[in-house]
Amino acid sequence: MKRIAIIGGGLSGLSAAYELARNEPQIVFRLFEASPRLGGIVETIREDGFVIECGPDSWVTEKPWARELAVELGLEAEIIPSNDNHRRTYLLQQGRLVAMPDSMRMMVPTNLDAIAESPFFSEEARLTYRREPERAAELRASALKDDEDESIASFVRRHFGDEVVRTIAGPLLAGVFGGDVESLSVRAVMPAFVKMEREHGSLVKAVQSLAGQNEHSVFTSLRSGLGTLIDRMAAALPQEHIRVEEDVIAVTHRSEGWRIRTRNAEKIFDAVIVATPVDVTRRLLRGIDERFDSLLAMDASSAIVVALAFLPEQARTLSIPHGFGYLVPQTDSVEESAQLLACTFVDQKFPHRAPEGGILLRGFFGGAAATSLMHESDEALSALTIERLSEVLGTLPAPRHTIVRRWPWSLPQYAVGHPARMAKLEALTVSFPGLYLAGNAYYGVGLPDMVRMGRDAARRAAQKTAPQG
Ligand SMILES: Cc1cc2nc3c(=O)[nH]c(=O)nc-3n(C[C@H](O)[C@H](O)[C@H](O)COP(=O)(O)OP(=O)(O)OC[C@H]3O[C@@H](n4cnc5c(N)ncnc54)[C@H](O)[C@@H]3O)c2cc1C
C-alpha cells in the first residue's frame, strides 16, 4: 500500500486529497490540517439569509478548474455569475466616489470613446491612451523577451504613462494582490498582457481584437457560498484519512521515505504534498536543503476582512451607489495606517447574498494598514470600518451581523524575477523524489489555480508512487 501525506487543508491541499480519494483509490493518504476546520482562507458564514464570505467571494470565470470541480461535485445548479450589468467600480478620489470608465479590461480600455468622455482621467492620460495603438510597432519591437521580466508599474508606464499607473493599475492590483505595482512581476501576475504585447504591441488593439469572444461574466461563485465547495470535498473524503488540529512540525527525508512529525506522532510516507502557506512551507523544507530557504523567502501581504450585514428594515435608510464596490488608492496620507483598501457591495456583485432588500458590505484592510491593525479587537476593527465607510456612503446604522477575519501573511507577493525563481524551485523540488508543492506562492493566487495545482500534485504523486508491475 503506497502512502501519501498532504500537509495543509486549504483549497490546494483539500483538492489534492479529493483527487486521490476520487481517482486513486489504491493510495492511502493522510491530510494534516493545523486548524479545527478545513478550507483555509475559504470560509462562508450564513446568517438570517446573508451569505457572508470571510475570504474569497468568487473565482475568475476565464480559468476553468474551479468550475470543473464544482460540476464534478454535483454543484452545477449552484454556480452563479457575477451581476455584470452592475459591474461598475469606483475609485475614492478626494473623498468622493468616481466611477471608472466602462468597458475596461483592468487598465486597458476596449472602447477609446468611453475614455474620451470619462472625467476619470486628465487630458494628458486620455491622449496617451489614444496614441497607444499608433505605437504598436514600436511597442512590439521592445516587448519583453522570454527570459525578461519587469514590474507591472514599468510595463503599464511604457504603454499608458504614469497617471494610469497611479490611478488604475496601483489600486486595482493592490485590491487583488494587496501588493505594490512597483515591485510585482508583470510576467507572473499578468501573463496574458505580456502575451498581448508580444503579439500585438498595442494592448488596446489586443483587447479590442478579443471583444465579443468573452461574453461570460467576469466572476463566478456558488449560490450558497464558496464554503459549499469545501464541505462537498470534505464529505467525499474517507474521514479516517483526515487529521484536523494536527499541525506538522517537521518533515525529513530518509532512505525509507518522508518522515512527517506532528506533536503526537511520527509516520513515514512514500510521498508528501506540502500545501501550507509559504512561510510554513519554507520552515518545513529548509532543513532538507538550505536552497529551499532562499527560494521560498517571499514577502507576503496581510488582509483583514470586515463584513457588515444590514437587514431590509435597516437598509431602507442607506443609499449605496450602483456597482460592485470601490477601491481606495493607498497614499502616504496620515490616514494610511487606518485606511481601507477596498469595499465590496456584495449584494450587488452577486445575487442571493442578502435577503431581499438587505445590504451586505465587505470592507478590506490590506498592506501596511492590515499589518498595523492585525492585533486590534473585533469591536475596534468593526467600529473603524463603519467610520471609514460612513465617510463615503453616508452614516451607517449598527449592522445586524458583523464578521471580522484576519488573514495574516496570506497573499505572497510575486516580485520581479518570480518566474525564474519558480523554475529554480521546481528543479530543486524534483530532485527530491516524492516531494510536491501546491499553494498560492507559486503559479497564481486565485482559487482555480489552487484546484489545478492541488489536483495536479496529487496525480503526479500517485503516478510516481503507483506499485510497479
Ligand atoms: C481576503 C482574501 C480575499 C481573497 N479573495 C479571492 C477571490 O475572491 N478569488 C480568488 O480566486 N482568490 C482570492 N483570494 C486568494 C485565495 O483565497 C488564496 O490564494 C487561496 O485560498 C489559498 O489557498 P491555499 O490552500 O494555498 O492556502 P490556505 O487557504 O492558506 O490553506 C493553508 C492551510 O494550511 C494550514 N496549515 C498551516 N500550517 C500548517 C502545518 N504546520 N501543518 C498543517 N497544516 C497547516 C492552514 O491552517 C490552512 O488551512 C483571497 C485571499 C484573501 C486573503
DSSP 277-299: -HHHHHHHHTTT-HHHHHHT---
CATH superfamily, with its number, for domain 101-210:
protoporphyrinogen ix oxidase, domain 3 (1.10.3110.10)
Q: Please provide the average confidence, as pLDDT, over all residues in the chain.
A: 93
Q: What atom in ligand 1 is closest to the CA of residue 11?
A: 25
Per-residue confidence (pLDDT) for residue 118, from 0 to 100:
83
Per-residue confidence (pLDDT) for residue 84, from 0 to 100:
83
Please state, for a pLDDT cut of 70, what percent of the chain lies above it. Answer: 97
Q: What atom in ligand 1 is closest to the CA of residue 447?
A: 11
Q: Where are the domains of the chain?
A: 2-37+227-298+415-465, 101-210, 300-412
Give the residues across from 97 on adjacent strands: 92
Which of 41, 221, 353 most suits a substitution to test ligand 1, by most atoms within 8 Å of the C-beta? 41
Beta strands in 299-338 (DSSP E): 300-310, 325-327
pLDDT digits (tens, 9 = 90+) for 162-189: 999 998 999 999 888 888 999 999 999 9
Report the half-sphere exposure of 431 (CA within 13 A, side-chain side). Answer: 10
Mean pLDDT score, 81-107:
88
Ligand 1 center–CA 119 separation, angstroms: 38
pLDDT digits (tens, 9 = 90+) for 387-424: 999 999 999 999 999 999 999 999 999 999 999 999 99
Residue of minimum CA distance from atom 8 in ligand 1: 56
Per-residue confidence (pLDDT) for residue 433, from 0 to 100:
95
Q: What atom in ligand 1 is closest to the CA of residue 57?
A: 8
Picking from 37, 20, 461, the residue whose alpha carbon sits closest to that of residue 238 is 20
For residues 459 and 453, give the distance between their C-alpha atoms in angstroms, rounded to a whole number: 10
Q: Could you give the residue ranges of the DSSP H alpha helices within 272-365?
A: 278-285, 290-295, 312-315, 346-349
Residue of minimum CA distance from atom 6 in ligand 1: 56
Ligand 1 center–CA 446 separation, angstroms: 10
Q: pTM surpassing 0.85?
A: yes
Ligand 1 center–CA 77 separation, angstroms: 25
pLDDT interval class at 469 (50, 70, 90): very low
Residue of minimum CA distance from atom 16 in ligand 1: 446
Ligand 1 center–CA 399 separation, angstroms: 27
Backbone angles phi, psi at 199, to 5 degrees: -85, -40
Ligand 1 center–CA 16 separation, angstroms: 14
The class of domain 2-37+227-298+415-465 in CATH terms is alpha beta
Neighbours of 393 (CB within 10 A): 18
Which of 65, 269, 276 most suits a substitution to test ligand 1, by most atoms within 8 Å of the C-beta? 276
Residue whose grid cell is 451569505: 51
For residues 197 and 234, give the distance between their C-alpha atoms in angstroms, rounded to a whole number: 42
pLDDT digits (tens, 9 = 90+) for 351-392: 889 999 999 999 999 988 999 999 999 999 999 999 999 999
End-to-end CA distance of the chain: 14
Ligand 1-lining residues (CB < 6 angstroms): 7-13, 32-35, 40-42, 55-59, 247-248, 275-277, 280, 303, 305, 407, 410-411, 439-440, 445-447, 450
Per-residue confidence (pLDDT) for residue 466, from 0 to 100:
56
CATH number 3.40.50.10860 given to 300-412: no
pLDDT digits (tens, 9 = 90+) for 2-11: 899 999 999 9
Contact 363, 345 (CB under 8 A): no
pLDDT digits (tens, 9 = 90+) for 202-254: 999 999 998 776 668 889 999 999 999 999 999 999 999 999 999 999 999 99
Q: Distance of CA 253 to CAs 250, 286, 288, 294, Å?
A: 10, 12, 7, 19
Ligand 1 center–CA 199 separation, angstroms: 34
Equal CATH topology for 2-37+227-298+415-465 and 101-210: no
CA 307-10-414 angle, to 5 degrees, is: 85
